[in-house]
Amino acid sequence: MSSNETEGIDAEQVTVWLQERADIAPPLSFDLIAGGHSNLTFQVTDTTGRKWVLRRPPLKQVLATAHDMGREHKIISSLAGTDVPVAPAVGLCTDESVNGAPFYVMDFVEGTVVRDLDTAKRLTEAQRRTAGNSTIDVLARIHAVDVDAVGLGDLGKREDYIARQLKRWYGQFEKSKTRELPIVDEVHDLLRAAIPDQGPATIVHGDYRLDNCMVGADGEVVAVLDWEICTLGDPLADVGLLLVYSPDEEGTSATGVPAVTALPGFPTQQEMLDRYQDISGRDLTHIDYYVAFGYWKLACILEGVYARYAGGAMGGGGEAGSFDFFGQQVITIFERAREAARRVG
């Protein structure tokens, strides 16, 4: 597919827009880096080989509020002057006549996204150790940002983060469900009855994990990606979700893919918690709660994806057996949430 035919990109108009904001040598090529149900990410390359990244909403939006380009652009722009590594922002376009939807462009950062076993195995044990430790260090830095000082004080409500999140995702589940799953209600009620007291609000990334970070040649995190559901609230929600995505045991992770972080070199979950506590000074007594919440939230999101597949909203493109497996995997995640919730004392 040529650049002029890339779905989701009006190459001619985007080129004109970008020429006004960056030194480019057209024509530009646009290659989809990441798609699916999240925002679409394109690598933009000019004739000299210089690269940028363009982000826009999915072609068929499901939750419009989850694809706010202005919000993402504001976050990375505000964090640019901090010690949180983000890609430098180039510009935001809210004029939908340019590309059919709002979008923003940022500089391309050289690095590796460790998303699968093959990629992780190409790293040395020392690089894996560095990547795991750096992931924790950067998360602690995110949570240490003075939100008012950087202009993010109005990013969201600060208090009662978990209660609001429980209400939001439970409501989304109720709207999209195609099958009865009593375990969803059971875990929701367990979590709602045991919400820990929230400390001072910080930035909450909302989907922080190794494969939403880009690492450099030495393993250090050079850019944190995918800020689309970032808000203010309880930082320990990020820690709990990171543990959900970082199993110690070989096998499959919460999402059903091979567990990258079980490879030699990556820190264990306990080492991650100890490191975060040492840096942040936060009390992790109730971390089991946040792990349970992380599993439950993830399962609610994935059940919505499953429901759309089951209802044909994704237009086919898969075998019924794979849908059945995905549907069962969602139940497995809810079971992990229940197991963690029952440990909460």
Angle between helices 236-244 and 287-310 (to 10 degrees): 60
Nearest one of 82, 90, 57, 98 to 143, comparing CA atoms: 82
Instruction: Write the pLDDT tens digit of every residue in 105-133.
Output: 999 999 999 989 999 999 999 999 999 99
SS3 for 128? helix
Tell me what percent of the residues of the chain surpass a pLDDT of 90: 75
pLDDT, position 307 = 82
Whole-number Å distance between alpha carbons of 76 and 273? 26
Two tokens, residue 251? 């096998």
Residue 227's pLDDT is 92
- Phi and psi torsions of 199, nearest 5°: -80, -165
Tokens 């990606």 identify what position?
225
The mean pLDDT of the chain is 90
Q: Which of 109, 108, 135 is nearest to 120 (CA)?
A: 135
Spatial distance between the Cα atoms of 84 and 80, rounded to a whole number of angstroms: 7
- Residue 112: DSSP 8-state: B
Q: Determine the pLDDT at residue 53.
A: 96
How far apart CA 168 and CA 147 sit, in angstroms, is 23
**How many residues are present in the chain?**
345
pLDDT-wise least confident of 91-105, 151-165, 173-187: 173-187
List CB contacts of 134: < 8 A, sequence separation 6 or more: 213, 215, 219, 220, 221
The helix (H) or strand (E) run that includes residue 90 is strand 89-93
For residues 203 and 236, what is the distance between their CA atoms, to the nearest angstrom?
11
Task: Report, as an integer, the average pLDDT of 326-339.
Answer: 90
Report the pLDDT value the prediction gives residue 3, as an integer from 0 to 100: 41
Which residue reads 């999209």 in tokens? Answer: 176
Single-letter amino acid code for the residue at 203? I
Q: What is the mean pLDDT of residues 320-345?
A: 83
Least Cα distance to 192 among 156, 157, 168 occurs for: 168
pLDDT tens digits for range 297-330: 999 988 888 887 776 644 444 454 566 778 888 9
* Residue 55 backbone dihedrals phi, psi, to 5 degrees: -120, 135
Torsion from C-alpha of 210, 214, 220, 221, nearest 10 degrees: -80
Q: Is the peptide bond before 102 cis (omega within 30 degrees of 0)?
A: no
| pLDDT beyond 80 at 70 | yes
224-233, 240-249, 320-329: which range is least confident on average?
320-329
Q: Are 218 and 130 in contact (CB under 8 A)?
A: yes
